[in-house]
Amino acid sequence: MIAYDDFAKIDVRAGTILEASPLEGARKPAYKLRIDFGPEIGEKHSSAQITVRHDARELPGTQICAVVNFAPKRIAGFISEVLVLGMNDEDGNVVLVRPQCTVPNGSRLY
């Protein structure tokens, strides 16, 4: 069990994918994403292993949830600034976590 204050340290925000393309050189198939988190946070980049359930051509315009306050991580020479959230389906493929309805970019999960 954790205290609510521990959960509150994780900053999960809604953002809209602007661009998605294959991340060349990744050990596992992944996309590099450019995501708009609104005026407070701005645009950020992320690497996401979502290639089985999601087509890169269909991702722009999709709203997602991501942790925006982790330290950046280098993946295959690409700097991933946020952690896009997902869950495994019954076959172990990642499915994106998304708001049920459109919300303003930058909206915080609580």
pLDDT of the residue at 98: 97
Structure tokens at 12: 């999960």
Which CATH entry fits the domain spanning 4-96: 3.40.50.620, 2.60.40.1180, 2.70.50.30, 2.40.50.140? 2.40.50.140
Instruction: Assign 46 a pLDDT band (cuts: 50, 70, 90).
Output: very high
Helix (H) and strand (E) counts for the chain?
Answer: 2, 9
Q: Give the domain ranges of the chain.
A: 4-96
Mean pLDDT of 89-108: 97
Please say whether the beta carbons of 106 and 40 come within 8 A: yes
Closest by CA position to 37, among listed 90, 99, 93: 99
Buried b / exposed e across 60-84, counting CB within 10 Å, b at 16+?
A: eebbbbbebeeeeeebeebebbbbb
Structure tokens at 59: 């991702």
Q: pLDDT tens digits for 16-40?
A: 999 999 999 999 999 999 999 999 9
pLDDT of the residue at 8: 93
